Every structure is written in structure tokens, then in C-alpha cells.
Amino acid sequence: MKRSVLIFGMLLVIGAFLGNTVRAAEPVLMKKVIEVPNATKEKIFEKVRTWSETYVQSYSSDLKSGVVVANGEISYPAPTIDRIQYTILFKMKNTIQNNKDTVAFEDVMLKAPRSYLTESVGAAPPFIGGEVAPIKSKKDIAAANNVLNYVANNLGDNLMNKSASACPIEKCRECGLLATSPAEMKEHMKGHGGHQSAPKE
């Protein structure tokens, strides 16, 4: 009897450990609070709206609640060969109160390119072009948090009226995808036959 209780207890401990391991692998939503000295809620709201018009694919806004929700897509940062031309989809919720904008990223997803180099390693067969899936691996979570923090910093520089952002962003004129460097945009351009990107800011 004691042995059975001991074994059951060990199984509970192992189950709890595995459960914690699984939970730890889930993506943590990235949040950032941007404080703009001497700015009003209305001023920040209008700046976030203008930034959204410039950089994201779609957005909605409500001045009364002080919320601007932007939906965008950005290149996977510094991709390994199994993530070339992959992108990250995101919903960026801006909640503006007084002189602060609380930025929270939600519904972050990994999107595969429509086509892929067959000789590339890491593309799990069967490869589904354009597939959108939740981000699960630690590598992809870290990459997403890194690039979304970059996006939030670009917005922050804009709200602070900096003439040039330390985190410049380029936008594809054809599909609205964002890139953090000319090299990323050049890689993305291959899928559009050499289109031009919008000027970076």
C-alpha cells in the first residue's frame, strides 16, 4: 500500500514538472509602457493613429477608451535557414491613459512563405505554403519577442518626436510587410519581383 502511494506521489510530481515545462514553452505576451512627458492623452492617441496608418496593415481606434488596435506583419528576424522568408503576424493593442501608452502584443503567429526552397533544411514535410500557426518553440518565441520589442521602440521614438529612430522600419508598398533592415526587405522583395519599399523612418 505504502509503495503504491509512493509511486502515485512520484507520478504526480513528474506530471506537475512536465506541465510546468509545457507552460514555460508557451509564448509570453510582450508588453511595454511608453511614457511621454508633458503629453496629453489626445496628443498621444493621434500620434499612435498616425504611426498605425504609416506602418501596419489595418487598425481600429476609439478615442473615448483611448485604445488603438493595430494589425501587422513583420519579417522573421535574423532567420536560420529553416525560417527564411517566414514572417510574424501580430495584433498590437495600445491603451492610452494620461501621458502613457501601454503597448501589448496579442495573437502573435508564425507565417510560412507561400513557396520554399526544397533544398532548405528544417522545413517539415509536407510543407504548407502560407500556413499560419501559433508560435510554440523557444527559438520562435525569443525571435518574436525580440522583433516586437523593436517595433514598440520604433513607436516610442515616434511618440518622443525623435528625428530618426534607433529602430528604423521599412514597409513593403505591395503587401504592407515590415522589415527592420534593407537586407530583410531585399529578401522579401524576391517574392514580389523586385518591388520598392516605402522610405524608412
Q: What pLDDT, in 10s, does the model give residues 10-54?
A: 444 444 444 443 344 345 468 999 999 999 999 999 999 999 999
Is the distance from CB of 82 to CB of 121 less than 8 angstroms?
Answer: yes
Report field, pTM of the whole predicted structure over 0.75: yes
pLDDT at 33: 97
Q: What is the pLDDT of residues 153-177, one digit of tens each?
A: 999 999 999 988 999 999 999 999 9
At CB < 8 A and 24+ separation, what contacts does 60-63 make? none
Q: Which uninterrupted H or E stretch holds 52?
A: helix 41-55
Q: Which uninterrupted H or E stretch holds 96?
A: strand 87-97
Give the separation between CA 51 and CA 62, rounded to whole angstroms. Answer: 15
30, 42, 149: which is closest to 99 by C-alpha? 42
Is the distance from CB of 145 to CB of 28 less than 8 angstroms?
Answer: yes
Triad 108, 113, 117: Cα angle to 5°: 140
Which residue has cell 488596435? 69
Give the separation between CA 171 and CA 178, rounded to whole angstroms. Answer: 5
The domain over range 30-198 is classified in CATH as 3.30.530.80: yes
Q: What is the pLDDT of residues 94-135, one digit of tens each?
A: 999 999 999 999 999 999 887 654 444 344 555 566 789 899
- Domain positions in the chain: 30-198
111, 154, 149, 117: which is closest to 130 by C-alpha? 111
